[in-house]
Each structure stands twice: as C-alpha cells, then as structure tokens.
Amino acid sequence: MKVSVFATLVLSSFATALPSLKRRGGSFVLQNGIDAINLNNQFQSLTASSPCTSGNACVNGEFAQCVNGQYVLTSCGSGLICAALPLVNSAGTSITCTTQADLNSRIAATGATANGTSTTSGPSNVTTSSSAPTATSTAGSGSNSNSNAQTSLTLLSSLVAPNFAQNGQNVNTSQAGEYPSLTSTNNFINYCATLSNLPITNGQQVKNGSCNPAPMGAIPSISNMPSAKFVSPNNLAVLPANTTFQVTLAMKGLQTGYFVNPDTNYFSAPQQIDPTSGQIQGHAHIVIEALQSLTQTTPTDPNKFAYFLGMNSKADAKGQLYANVTGGLPEGTYKMSTIISAMNHQPVLVAVAQHGALDDQIYFTVVASGQNGTTTTTTFIGGSPLPSTASGVSSVPTGSST
C-alpha cells in the first residue's frame, strides 16, 4: 500500500475523536475506511447554515470550521475537495483538502467500499437522512438487484428503518410500564460495538454468550406461520421402558429440510423464506426432558435433557417428520417439545406478536412392562424392551447435536 504524505494539504488536518467503537485485534484500517465513508456521506447533508457545536467538516466541498455554532467555509482551491480521509497508522479519520483521486485510493486501500450507496465521481451523494430513499430501489428483502450492496460496508439509505429512531414512549398507545426502546438511526449495524464484554457470535455457539450482528431477515405473512403437532407418542401416552419408540411430528407452514452447519454458521444469516410458498425455510428439533412428575411446577433446566434431535430431512407427503428414540427411555415422566428453527438455527420469527404456539409440547410416562392400565397409539419398533444398558437419562444428549 502506498503511504504518501498529505502533499495536497492547504489547511491543517484534524484527527477526529471517534465514538468509543471497539477495535478488534487493533485492525482499525477497515473501520477507518468505513468511518470516512460515513462521514463523507453525512457531510452531503450539511449546508453553510447547518448548526454545529464544534470541530471541522466539509460543506459543499469546502473546508468548514465550526465557529460560534456556525460553519465558516474556506475553499480548498482548484482541483481539490474537502473530505474525511482514513488515517493510516492509527484509528481515526482526518478532515482535509485533497484530490478526488487521493480520496478514492485511500478509501479503497482500507478495503471499505462506497459502492452500493454512492457514486465514485465525487464524495457520496447519499445522505444519512432516514427518509426519501435515493440509493437504490431494492425492496427491504436483501434482493441482489444492486449486486454491490451485498458486499458494501455502508448501509443503504433505502433500508434505514426510521421508526427505529423512536423509543415508543411518545405516542398514545404507550402502556404503563413500557420500557423506552433502544433506538438507532443506522439499524443498529454497529450495536455489538457497545457491548465491549461480548465477542461477536461469528457463526459459533459461544457458550459464554456473544452479540450477534446479523439482521433478523425475512418475516412471512400471517398465513405462513409454522405450526407443529406431535402425532406419536400422543399426549399422556404410557411407553415401555428402555424400548425404542418412534416420534412422528406433523409440520405445517414450514419448508423443511433446510439447515446449515451449526458449528460454523449458527445465527450467521437472516431468516429466509421460500419465494414460491412464502414459508420459512428451516427445520425442526425435538427435545425430551425428564420431569419429577406430570404435575411438576418448577421450571426445567435447559442444560439437561434426555434426548435431542434435529429433524433435518424434508417432511414426507403427509407433512410428517420421524425420529426413532433408539433404546427408549428409563422409567419416569417426560416432556417432549419441538424447537422450530429457521435455516441458521435461530427460532422462527413471524409477522405478528399475538399468535398461537408455533411449537408443540406433550407429556408422557415411561413404565416397566405391565405397570400400566393405559393403552397408547405409539408405534413401537422391534416390539420387546431392550437390555437395560441400552439407554439412560443424562445431560449428554443422544441423537444429533443440532
């Protein structure tokens, strides 16, 4: 990378103090590029009469110093423009007079790209205003009609959600006790930088906690909310101990068979919907937890379960998914639940807050042979109980880890 002196400086440059963004591994170069792009975008909305509090800016391509709440403009001279440049050796940006070519090459050298939001013929023409989308005409669906938008490090102005700037406390619908929402004018794109104690999730199942930077993604219509129901075992079934049994799950409103690598791509992409059906592309899981009794009232410990399985295949023609709980379960009472997920393992998100349960839960009892007076419709596989060493309840999951 060429590191040249600011030969074109006609005014003193000024290293701006940036917000307390977290620098990961000291790699400020890219961040400096992003910050410079964003600053130059913001400058586009300034006029000579814009109020200011302190510091320097660029107004109409001229160098602007804030004096007594107003900008005082100084022309950069022939062939030069005022711009925010990324610093090379430390975190930050510098507002200075330079050439368009120098601005372009310095920003390009950081790896940040203005494409997707701006022209390259001058400082970006996209403002940070939350209204009047100008950059592209893409719908909010992440469509690739602007191919650069999916690699750009700059938020498309057409995607800024203006309502995110409001905390919900200033309208008549606000209810007593409602918390003011966190607000953002840039869709929280850098939210995780405010949580310095948390690493970004980065596609991994971070057991100590993390902050996930991926947006939530596509939300299906209310006619496409997923819903699950166990067919077998039936609710309150009585099953023979240590005997393989089949779980049958009826799935509605979900395009099944979609799952990604859970070790590398956990929560790493937005929820996606199938364009033909309008349904979420995802998969179901089942989890069986031991209870003290069918009337247990204490919450269970989600770290402990007797059986867990990702039902990753496509549902059959009947819309059903199947699993064999090989070796069965020891005597006891159990809760079996579904966990319906989008492709990247996040819980499914639907269009409205008030809706029926998307998941199912049933309760059943497992007894030694001859200990019950109840029949069940459960399908047993193999017929006779397996040796008692075949299976046992433990906090270690059996079946797939996904």
Ligand X SMILES: *[C@@H]1O[C@H](CO)[C@@H](O)[C@H](O)[C@H]1NC(C)=O
Residues of this chain that bind ligand X (CB under 6 A): 108, 113-115, 119-120, 125, 134, 171-172, 208, 238-242, 246, 322-324, 330-331, 367-375, 381, 385, 388, 391-392
Q: Identify which of residues 194 and 246 has a Cβ nearer to ligand X in the complex.
A: 246
Q: Identify which of residues 19 and 370 has a Cβ nearer to ligand X in the complex.
A: 370
* Distance in Å, CB of 12 to ligand X, minimum: 27
Q: Identify which of residues 248 and 272 has a Cβ nearer to ligand X in the complex.
A: 248
Judge whether 269 and 275 are in contact, CB under 8 Å. Answer: no
Q: Identify which of residues 225 and 288 has a Cβ nearer to ligand X in the complex.
A: 288
Judge whether 266 and 291 are in contact, CB under 8 Å. Answer: no
Q: Identify which of residues 227 and 312 has a Cβ nearer to ligand X in the complex.
A: 312
* Distance in Å, CB of 279 to ligand X, minimum: 22
Judge whether 53 and 66 are in contact, CB under 8 Å. Answer: yes
Q: Identify which of residues 126 and 358 has a Cβ nearer to ligand X in the complex.
A: 126
Cα–Cα distance measured from residue 125 to residue 106, given in angstroms and rounded to the nearest whole number? 18
* Distance in Å, CB of 291 to ligand X, minimum: 17
* Distance in Å, CB of 10 to ligand X, minimum: 25
Cα–Cα distance measured from residue 89 to residue 91, given in angstroms and rounded to the nearest whole number? 7
Judge whether 140 and 162 are in contact, CB under 8 Å. Answer: no
Q: Identify which of residues 120 and 141 has a Cβ nearer to ligand X in the complex.
A: 120
| 56: Cα within 13 Å, side-chain hemisphere | 23
Cα–Cα distance measured from residue 57 to residue 51, given in angstroms and rounded to the nearest whole number? 12
Q: Identify which of residues 240 and 253 has a Cβ nearer to ligand X in the complex.
A: 240
13: tokens are 């440059």
* Distance in Å, CB of 356 to ligand X, minimum: 27
* Distance in Å, CB of 169 to ligand X, minimum: 12
Q: Identify which of residues 42 and 70 has a Cβ nearer to ligand X in the complex.
A: 42
Q: Which residues have C-beta within 8 Å of that of residue 70, sequence separation ≥ 6?
A: 49, 51, 52
Q: Identify which of residues 52 and 311 has a Cβ nearer to ligand X in the complex.
A: 311
* Distance in Å, CB of 45 to ligand X, minimum: 11
Backbone φ and ψ of 401, nearest 5° = -80, 0
Angle at 331 between CA 325 and CA 332, to 5 degrees: 95
Residue 244, Cβ density class (10 Å: 0-12 exposed, 13-18 middle, ≥19 buried): buried
* Distance in Å, CB of 371 to ligand X, minimum: 6
* Distance in Å, CB of 399 to ligand X, minimum: 10
Handedness of CA 74, 79, 82, 87 (dihedral sign): negative
Residue 198, Cβ density class (10 Å: 0-12 exposed, 13-18 middle, ≥19 buried): middle
Q: Beta strand pairing status for 254-255 and 280-291?
A: parallel
Q: What residue is closest to ligand X based on CB?
A: 240
Q: Which residues have C-beta within 8 Å of that of residue 271, sequence separation ≥ 6?
A: 216, 217, 218, 219, 280, 282, 342, 343, 344, 346, 348, 349
* Distance in Å, CB of 273 to ligand X, minimum: 27
